[in-house]
Structure 1
Amino acid sequence: MLTLSRRDILTGGAATLAAVAVGGYAGARAQAADLLLPVTETAHALRPDVVTGGMMTFGDRGPPPVLRLRQGQPYVVDVVNRLREATVVHWHGLRLANAMDGVPYLTQAPIEPGQRFRYTLTSPDAGTFWYHPHCNTLEQMARGLTGLLIVDEAEDPGFDVDLPLNIRDFRLGADGQFVEFYRLRNAARGGTLGTQSTVNWQTEPLHDLPAGGLVRLRLVMTDMTRVGTYDLEGGESRVIALDSHPLADPLPAAGLMLAPGQRADVALRIPDTEGQEVTLTLRTDRGPRLMARFRATGRSLGRALAELAPLPANPVAGPDLSRAETLDFVFGWSPEGDGAASGICGSLGKSFWSINRVAWDGDTPGPMDPLATLRLGGSYILRLRNETPNAHPIHLHGLSFRLLRSNRRALPPLVTDTALLLSQETMEVALVADNPGNWAFHCHVIEHQKTGLTGYLRVA
């Protein structure tokens, strides 16, 4: 685990920052990386008729690549920063070593322009994940830095096609160029919605898929703000996993509510008739918004959903509820409302939100005290109380937790890393603190995250 103190940064200066930023790379040069992943500026046609400039991506051009790992096997990524500002990469949902988690100052120094950092990713879990920066997070994500990451099961689950879907908005004006990424009055409420919905950086894409085939759709919500309800219509379908973890009892793929950071794996049987379509839509006040189409092509493969065996459960330890300690976390307004620190990794300059009445002081050297310290190997119940009129998708790095109960609704027996906390909801979740380190704990509405609704838990 790497934690930089304020004194480390101030006394060491640029040399200390540079040495630590390449620390994940130095000493491992003899081993070839599985992937060289540059972070670059780019331009792309998010709409069919215009190219949007000022974008950012992972890779050389176009949408960020879908990374594929094997469960339990190490995967080495050399991230090279070709931007004109600092960045880091966080691997959302992966339970990995703390030094690889990608949170500035909490686990590593920012990767400065021209520097590189070596991440070694070894996931005990299979499923659908994603990756994004945790430095100048709002602007970098808004410009395009959200990519998908798949950890394949040890055995082939039997689909004909595996189709990851990066679902997110961009904030574009009538000319197809970026407008302001946020408005402070919205940051103090539900957040600033995008204006252009995309799937894999395309508007209403059409995918040709084998008629009568079985497709694994991986819906990944990489948006900064939107909590949406999605419907899949025109074929047989069922939700088989949520937030990377298989469901013992599949759910209907209609009325599926997903918040920023959440994921859903859907088993879809494509219709038998060539040309017939399945649609993915988002519910809005103006009616369904078409997100993507899936068209049957060729002669029917004649597959059936019943052919699919349940996905194997991931090896997440079960908490001992009879001995679990309960910890309380209150998500509310900031007690001050102003004065958030600025730093290398940016700030919106305001503190609207807090956890346990403490607003995050910004991504600066010398992180604040942890919200709580958990004993390594101990079982805990986290009582999450939202006292605000807005929903908050609460994400915990490095650990997975089980939903237990809510004062507002029945909860499925789900294992997750990102739970949507409704307005005025109190939710209890349980976990085993089995991964040592400092783990960020925050709302995944990025405007909320960057205006105070962030902290961290220490497992030691």
Structure 2
Amino acid sequence: MKNGGASLSRRALLGAGAALGGLALLGPTRTGQARIPTPFVPTRSLTLRAGEMELKLLGPGKPASRILAYDGTPFRTLRLPRGSRLEATFENGLDEGSTLHFHGIRMPNEYDGVPTLTQPLVQPGGRFVHLLPLDDPGTFFFHPHCDETGQAGKGLAGVLIVEDPRDPAFDAEHVLCLKDWRLADDGSFLPLTEPDGASKAGTFGATRTVNGAASVELAAPAGGDVRLRILNVDATRIMDIGHEGGEAWLIAVDGHALKPVRLDDLPDGIWRMGPAQRIDLHLRMPRDGGSVMVGDYRSSDIYPFATITAQGRSARPRKGPLALPPPDLPRPELKKAERFSFTLQQATDAAVKDIGLPPDDPLAKALLDSLCVGSTTYWGINRESWPTGERRNVPPPLARMETGRSYRIEIKNETRFPHPVHLHGHAFEVLTSSLGRLPRHFADTVLVQPGEAVEVAFVAAPGDWVFHCHILEHMETGMMGYFRVV
């Protein structure tokens, strides 16, 4: 089996031994134009308040940690039916500026949550209202888009599940949020970023959790069908998701269905996922009972984050995987698509330069808030870096595109480290990998290995859309830019 261009995983070693629908009018935004629902009639209105809370991450009997969460709930989870119109009011209960970004959702650009580029920074005590059409079913999440290393690093993330009534019926469903924490023995936070980490693979936490606990014990009927929604909400860690026992199929990536693929048939028998990526697994429990372990096999110390034990017996044993309805997304016209190429690089002196927008651009004089940029530049895209330190002027876009046109984007990784690359506001189609390790699928984040080139394609939606590495330290130290679609 191919190893995907990285070191052979523990899983492989063990195996060897054993559009927005119905929107018509265009309305102006701060940075151009975006499709706005007219009229937008909310079917659900809610408030998400960011603030502090205590959680015993080190275990029972150990000191609690002061983490950040929405509504005082770790990994606050929202469930809404497909087609919902969500009015979400963000309240900033922190002592610094923040915003709210709904990751993976196709939406009008002005609700994307990127400070300066799409909206003002929400100051402490402030509010911002998001109007979101939820037309794509799947597993998504939400998080801040300012001081992400600090705020998301302390736990500020929530889950958004858009349910599809067409989905097959599972015997059980579980949401699993994977995150590391950088904690001292007294429960306090260690520095969330260090120069040696930010300039390399990232600054890792040593306390690993799923849903805020060391591991979870779950139950399902023998021979039953379980849907696992697995989210990597860590700031840094790349994970190799695999299982022992039963059968498992990959049925969705970043919320979007794909033709089921047996996990054991993938390279190394795992799915490699970086920060911000999500997968849905269909797990079939052994018919003779017993248990199934799901874990991260990336290192020699396997992290078994979930154990599902058979209890009773399924009333409807089935064969083969349960496929989700195919995604209803804009399909790029590949033969007519314009091509761009973007190279992920270590920053050079040439990348650290003051590049400005033309004087007549609406954002030419805008300054990025100091909390939303890093202090040092380590990374770049096409030899250009997002501003850091004292360089706070909004840079020009990486590319200019036209609404409704198809684009093919090559992402080349010339660094020694993997990078999960995310494009806001779009679901792109992953077409090819130079290492031949990826099935064709839709996603909003793609992990690009060292020396790898990945090609994706999408239909451009109007707005200024951020394109960045989702290892948060890499993003905040230069590996970020945006596409301007007019």
- Paired with 1:452 and 1:367, the residues of 2 have a C-alpha distance of 13
CA contact (8 A) 2:63 2:186 kept: no
Q: 1:314 aligns with which of 318, 327, 348?
A: 327
Q: Which residue of 1 aligns with 2:346?
A: 333
Q: 1:306 to 1:122 in 2, by over 3 A?
A: farther
Kindly state the Cα deviation for residue 46 of structure 1 after the two structures are TM-superposed: 1.2
Instruction: Report whether the alignment pairs 1:263 with 2:278.
Output: yes
- TM norm structure 2: 0.84
Equivalent residue for 1:290, pick from 304, 327, 347: 304
- Pairwise CA distance, 1:308: 6.1
Displacement of 1:92 in angstroms is: 0.9
Residue aligning to 2:357: none
The alignment of Structure 1 onto Structure 2 pairs a total of residues equal to 435
Counterpart code for 1:439: W
Cα pair distance change 1:284/1:154, threshold 3 Å: closer
- CA–CA distance in 2 between the matches of 1:176 and 1:233? 33
**Which residue does the alignment assign to 2:122?**
111
In 1, the alpha carbon distance for the partners of 2:305 and 2:340 equals 40
Show the counterpart of 1:405: 432
Shift of 1:32: 9.1
Deviation string 1:307-326 (CA, Å, 9 cap, x unpaired) is 76521122212212221111
**Partner SS state of residue 128, structure 2:** strand
- Partner letter of residue 124 of structure 1? D
Alignment of structure 1 residues 32-43 onto 2, 5 Å: 34-43=45-54
Secondary structure of the 1:74 match is strand
1:45 aligns with 2:72: no
Alignment match, 1:432:
459
Q: Unaligned regions of 5+ residues in structure 1, if any?
A: 6-23
- Quick check: 1:330–1:385 contact (8 Å CA) kept in 2? yes
SS in 2 for 1:306: coil
Q: Is the 8 A contact 2:423 2:467 kept in 1?
A: yes
Q: Distance in 2 between matches of 1:338 and 1:457?
A: 20
Correspondences of 1:203-222 after superposition (within 5 Å):
203-222=214-233
The aligned runs of 1:376-395 (5 Å cut-off) are 376-395=403-422
Deviates more, 1:176-185 or 1:88-97: 176-185
CA contact (8 A) 2:428 2:457 kept: yes
Determine the C-alpha separation between the residues in 2 that align with 1:185 and 1:272.
Answer: 49
Gaps of 5+ in 2: 1-27, 355-366
Which residue, 143, 147, 161 being the options, matches 2:172? 161
1:83-162 correspondence to structure 2 within 5 Å: 83-162=94-173
Shift of 1:329: 0.9
Residues 230-280 of structure 1, C-alpha deviations (whole Å, 9 max, x = no match): 212222221111111111242316422111111110111234566x32111
Mapped contact 2:143–2:157 kept (Cα < 8 A):
yes
Distance between the aligned counterparts of 2:157 and 2:43, measured in 1? 25
1:272 and 1:318 map into 2 onto residues whose CA distance is 40
- Per-residue deviation, 1:31: 7.2
* 1:79 aligns to 2:94 (yes or no): no
Distance change in 2, residues 1:32/1:148 (3 Å):
closer
C-alpha deviation, 1:456, in angstroms? 0.5
SS in 2 for 1:217: strand
Name the SS of the counterpart of 2:426 in structure 1.
coil
> Match of 1:34, SS?
strand
Q: 1:342 to 1:352 in 2, by over 3 A?
A: farther
Contact 1:166 1:222 in 2 (8 A): yes
Query: In the alignment, does 2:250 pair up with 1:239?
Result: yes
1:459 maps to a residue whose letter is V
Does the C-alpha gap of structure 1 residues 256 and 305 become closer, same or farther in structure 2, counting only changes over 3 Å?
farther
Residues 305 and 266 (structure 1 numbering): CA distance in 2 closer, same or farther, change over 3 Å? Answer: farther
Look up the equivalent residue of 1:335 and give its one-letter code: T
Alpha-carbon distance change, 414 to 150 in structure 1, aligned in 2, over 3 angstroms:
same
Aligned match of 2:469 in 399, 419, 443? Answer: 443
Superposition TM-score, scaled by structure 1 size: 0.88
Q: Is the 8 A contact 1:269 1:304 kept in 2?
A: no
Pairwise CA distance, 1:305: 4.6
Question: Residue 99 of structure 1: CA displacement?
Answer: 1.2
Contact between 2:79 and 2:161, CA under 8 Å: does it hold in 1? yes
- Are the equivalent residues in 1 in contact too, given 2:429–2:440 (CA < 8 A)? yes
Distance verdict in 2 for CA 1:31–1:309, change over 3 Å:
closer
Which residue of structure 2 lines up, in the alignment, with residue 18 of structure 1?
A: none
Identity fraction in percent: 34
Deviation at 1:33, TM superposition (A): 5.7
